[in-house]
Amino acid sequence: MGTAGPQTAPLLALSGVSRSFDGVRVLDRAAFDLKRGEIHALLGENGAGKSTLMNIVTGVYAPEGGRYLIDGAPAGIRGPKDALKAGIGMVHQHFRLVDRFTVAENVLLASGQLGLFANAGEAARAAMEAGKAVGLAVDPAAIVGELSVAERQRVEILKVLALGARIVILDEPTAVLTDQEAGALLLAIRKIAAQGRAVVMITHKLREVAGHSDRVTIMRAGRTVISGAPVGTLSAGDLGRLMMGEETSPAEAAEAGVIEAAAPITIAKPGEERLIVSALYAGGGQGSVGVSDVGFTLKAGEILGVAGVGGNGQQALAEAIVGLLPVAGGHLTLDGWELGEFSVARRRDLGLRVVPSDRFASALIGELSVADNLALTRVRTGRYRSRLGSWLVGRRRMKREAEQAIEAFAIAGATPARRARLLSGGNAQKLLLARELEESGSGVKLLVAHSPTRGLDVKACAFVHAAIRKAVAGGAACLLISEDVEEVRALASRILVMSAGRMVGELPAGASASQIGALILGQA
């Protein structure tokens, strides 16, 4: 490093930055700065203002007041293009990739260079070199749509690096990854920072802050409660308190930070056998992994965790039980009923409830109202029949029940008439739980929960976990399919590990993450 000037001035500095939407102040005099070569964690719950702050940094939103400096001089960023020119690159949680294009074509598209002819070869080379330097290799000729989530994320990062970004912003980069993939990514992030770039890691996982970043900025309710504190000066407890506010209970803080602290529930007396799966075959083909020769028994009052890297047949397993995928071989019985030929509706009548991995793809309808979504699975039971005739729907009862559900599940921002799409991720998940678990105790016999907390913040996670525990305490059985090993460890009373469509091992509650990891990787 040569002159003293640019070294003393932070790479990027914001102070007193505010922003309102529709009269609601989502960012209130926030402050944030970045130094070369650091990993800076931006911590906060959903809705704390992290994304808004970063959208101001990347020029998506214009700030209201405050100062924005790059290299000590006013940034003058008026749009995303200016930010790109200033060397600011962001990897969004929802990837900005064209699925049908190759990796090289995606890099080329993002580069926005002028010139008539597409030089995909050159783009591929640039991306490969950037990837090699930080240990993230991807085949430039691969079609993006055929890559795994982790590989797609790599493409996004390579895209940013290939464009020569000095500032790399990662929005919850580990939310979509398994523990093993997250470990590899965190190593790469360290290498990216070591190249002299600055990395911002937006997260709500405390352990990533403690173990993998240099400084931390914590946001709560639109404010930066701590800005750029060295990570070493704060304990996990401090971080949790600052992030969630003083009123947070120790249990919630524990849930947030070290999930291990929450004791896995143990069942005093296992109930009768609920779900029996034997020699099940389903799905597979056309590039997706099906279920091969899977067998297990799930008892009432039990949470059976299925751990494993995503794309190893979990989707097929869930869909076969729910009734979306035909059973190709073997047996599937719920409370003694052979499910094989049953429709989805009949399975639900037997007490099957589902929280799928993608709530808006196969559970909620975003364009329908909260009340309509709640009624969706119940309306066929005749519950909402109007006095005027059984084929008419009694809107008043739907509305009343929706109001009750909103209150019981604390669904923030919901009214019976509001469209479900307008709810935040955590609240949409609460809406789904309200529908699936409402008759807990009697109606729910089996809950199939697939990645039920993916992308949710700490409080919403805790809520979902509590709801699952409550349903199980009420006599339901739960099949918890999750890529988050900590989630499985925290909830499950038995753990199965799934790989390439098969169950490759079973572990009791209390198994360590490394034991589970060894089975996932096939090293046991």
Question: What is the binding site for other proteins (CB under 8 A)?
Answer: 21, 60-62, 79-81, 84, 96-101, 105, 108-110, 112-113, 115-118
Nearer to other proteins, 14 or 492 (CB): 14
Could you tell me the smallest distance in angstroms from the CB atom of residue 112 to other proteins?
4
Shortest gap between Cβ of 91 and other proteins (angstroms)? 12
Residues 6+ positions from 488 with CB-CB distance below 8 Å? 305, 306, 307, 480, 482, 495, 516
HEC readout, 161-196: HHCCCCEEEEECCCCCCCHHHHHHHHHHHHHHHHCC
| Per-residue 3-state assignment (H helix, E strand, C coil) for 455-472 | CCCHHHHHHHHHHHHHHH
Q: Are the beta carbons of 59 and 75 closer than 8 angstroms?
A: no
CA-to-CA dists, residue 320 to 76, 314, 330, 470, 495, angstroms: 55, 10, 11, 25, 20
Q: Which is nearer to other proteins, 61 or 342 (CB)?
A: 61
Nearer to other proteins, 108 or 432 (CB): 108
CB of 101 to other proteins, least distance (A): 7
- CB nearer to other proteins: pick between 112 and 196: 112
Least spacing, CB of residue 360 vs other proteins, in Å? 16
User: Looking at beta carbons only, is 81 or 400 nearer to other proteins?
Assistant: 81
Nearer to other proteins, 84 or 202 (CB): 84
Q: Would you say 90 or 485 has its CB closer to other proteins?
A: 90
Q: Exposed, middle or buried by CB within 10 Å (0-12, 13-18, 19+), for 407?
A: exposed
Pairing of strands 327-334, 273-282: antiparallel
- In the chain, the amino acid numbered 396 is R
Closest CB 153 distance from other proteins, rounded Å: 15
Cβ at position 60, least distance to other proteins in Å: 8
**Rounded distance, CA 369 to CA 197, Å?**
45
Cβ contact 431:337 at 8 Å: no
Terminal Cα-to-Cα distance of the chain (whole angstroms): 48
CB of 218 to other proteins, least distance (A): 25
